[in-house]
Amino acid sequence: MKKTTLVAIAMLTAVSSAAFAQADPTKTNSGDMFINVPAQDELSSNVVGLDVYNKDKQDIGTIKDVAFNTSGLNGYVVGVGGFLGMGDHYVVVRPSAISISFNANDNKWHATMNTTADQLKAAPEYKYPSKS
Direct distance between the N- and C-terminal alpha carbons of the chain, in angstroms, rounded to an integer: 65
Q: Per residue in 13-27, pLDDT tens?
A: 343 444 444 444 455
Percent of the chain with pLDDT over 90: 46
pTM over 0.75: no
Of the candidates 125, 130, 2, 131, the one whose C-alpha atom is nearest the C-alpha of residue 64 is 125
C-alpha torsion sign, points 113, 59, 41, 90: negative
Q: How far, in Å, CA of 128 to CA of 131, rounded?
A: 9
Q: Rg of the Cα trace of the chain?
A: 26
Any idea where the domains of the chain sit in the sequence? 2-28, 44-122
Q: Per residue in 31-50, pLDDT tens?
A: 678 888 877 676 778 889 99
Kindly indicate whether the domain formed by 44-122 is annotated with CATH number 2.30.30.240.
Answer: yes
